[in-house]
Amino acid sequence: MSKEKNKEFILSKKSVIIGIQVIASVITVFFIYRMGLLPIKYFSTVVGIVVALLVLLGIFVYKTKGKINWFAKILSLILSLFLVIGSGYAMKGGNLLSRVTGASKDTHIISIIVDKDSSYKTLSDLSGVKIAANFQMDKSNMEKGVELFEQKHKYKVSTDEYTSYENMNRDLLDGTIPAIMISESHRGFLKEFNENFDAQTRVIEFVSYEVDTSIKKANANVSEDTYSIFITGIDTYGPVSSVSRSDVNMIMTVNPNENQILLTSIPRDYHVELGTIGAMDKLTHAGIYGVGESITTLEKLLNIEIDYFLKVNFSSVEQIVDALGGVEVYSQNSFTTRTEPYVQIKNGMNYLNGSESLAFVRERYNLPDGDNGRVRNQQELIKGMINKAVSPKILTNFDSIIASVSDSMQLSMSDGDVKSIIRHQLDTGKSWEIVQYQLSGFGATSNTTYSMPGWDLYVMNPDFDTVNHASDLIESMEMNQRIQP
């Protein structure tokens, strides 16, 4: 008998067909269990359905004859195929989740930058040429950059030392110097006085190194205890773990017993005492020293404990929103965004896709209350994303959602805790009340900020009535009390 006929004979055996279904069923149940997203009652239902199908098709395969028997065999093989595909889906989702959870590193990136129209294209073109670097304001990163460029690219950096980013920007763009070396965490300083810096320049090469975030380990039981997450949004080059100014600063406090979430926003220009450094600075600058510095700064300001952090590259928010299938957000104002795709926002509820959402949360110039309005809209977007994410339908698109955020989101919470949250939501099926609060203050100037001494910078001095109220709200939630909007 030929091999082909032998194979055909083997695949037509009842024991082989049912054996394949048994193996596919066991694999499916195993990976769904290992994925850990389903509550016991749902997992038990899934196991019951898989076992029932196995028994039912087993009876049909063994008890029928002729065409019905062949139909039963084919149906068993098709079901086995679907079970294997489902196993792959479960395995993929679990693996992707581990990529965005358990974050514990800050990434420092040092770039060599030229004018966008410069004839310099590679590092070798800059051989022997002096490059501007600000050792006074960023000594450790500049020294590390010199070391890493020689180590990783065999390029010896010859530096021309500057003490002013304003002069570096001017001399680069007028051709006085051929290139500059800066850490991406300090790019924002150049943009303080030249908002077109990104468009006028390009990166020739960069190096990077990682350090621990130095944040304490959380002890919260996310299914039972109230916990707080620091949400920080950055808009910079490189991976989401990049150290950068924090453009968005929000604390999300979650009470799983009362199904209540408090979103507390703190203005980026808040004039605060840095957590571990102890000097006064703008809150946005705390991010330059790592996400841990932002957390300790806010803990000191509000006299609270923050358990986790969620770091989002705001430029990639559109990918997250699109993966969710769009979100519904509320706007207090009607306006048109100043940047593409020039979205027309109406007063009331708006259904937005990814690019529209990004334009919505970036806009401030066409809002009557400027940056305060932008912060409020950022809260509305987070609220819309939460409302969409707690839907049971999220499981049907789980892997694509996690895939979309894997390069644009960092979460210090473990994947086990995230799975506990999902199981809890699926088990209870309760809706969440989202309370929003925003700290306010008074505009002022300061030339003694820690990060930019001598510069007259706009700052916002805190209104401590709002600071104390926010602290009281979070403390009440920690005491498992339901707060009033």
Q: Tell me the per-residue pLDDT of 207-227, one tens digit each, with 9 for 90 and over.
A: 999 999 878 888 889 999 999
Query: Which pLDDT band holds residue 352 (cuts at 50, 70, 90)?
Result: very high
For β-strands 260-265 and 248-255, DSSP reports them as antiparallel
* Phi, psi for residue 104 in degrees, rounded to 5: -145, 10
Where b means 16+ CB within 10 Å and e means fewer, 461-479 reads ebeeebbeebbebbbbbbe
* Phi, psi for residue 52 in degrees, rounded to 5: -65, -40
Omega of the bond prior to 341 within 30 degrees of 0, cis?
Answer: yes
Q: Structure pTM?
A: 0.88
DSSP codes, 122-136: SGGGGTT-EEEE-HH
- CA 210/CA 220 separation, integer angstroms: 27
430 and 471 in contact (C-beta within 8 Å)?
no
The predicted pLDDT at position 294 comes to 96
229 and 421 in contact (C-beta within 8 Å)?
no
Where b means 16+ CB within 10 Å and e means fewer, 99-125 reads bbbbbeebbbbbbbbbbeebebeebee
DSSP codes, 250-318: EEEEEETTTTEEEEEE--TTBEEE-TTT-SEEEHHHHGGG-HHHHHHHHHHHHT----EEEEEEGGGHH
In angstroms, how far is CA 99 from the centroid of its own chain?
11
- CA 36/CA 366 separation, integer angstroms: 45
Residue 230's beta-bridge partner residues? Answer: 251, 309
Instruction: Tell me the average pLDDT across 149-176.
Output: 94
Residue 237 has pLDDT above 60, yes or no: no
DSSP codes, 1-38: --HHHHHHHHHT-HHHHHHHHHHHHHHHHHHHHHHT-S
User: What is the residue whose two structure tokens read 């977007």?
Assistant: 381
Q: What is the dihedral of CA 471, 474, 479, 480, to 10 degrees?
A: 160
Residue 324 has pLDDT above 70, yes or no: yes
The predicted pLDDT at position 193 comes to 81
434-477: pLDDT as tens digits: 999 999 999 999 999 999 888 889 999 999 999 999 999 999 99
The predicted pLDDT at position 9 comes to 53
Structure tokens at 5: 């006929």
- CA 107/CA 41 separation, integer angstroms: 42
371-418: pLDDT as tens digits: 889 999 999 999 999 888 877 666 666 777 777 777 778 899 999 999
The 3-state DSSP composition of the chain as helix, strand, coil percent (nearest 5) reads 50, 20, 30
The predicted pLDDT at position 1 comes to 46
Helix, strand, or coil here: 382? helix
278's CB contacts (< 8 A; 6+ apart) are: none
Residue 233 has pLDDT above 60, yes or no: yes
- Ranges 80-89, 91-100, 139-148, most confident: 139-148
Residue 167 has pLDDT above 90, yes or no: yes
Residue 428 has pLDDT above 70, yes or no: yes
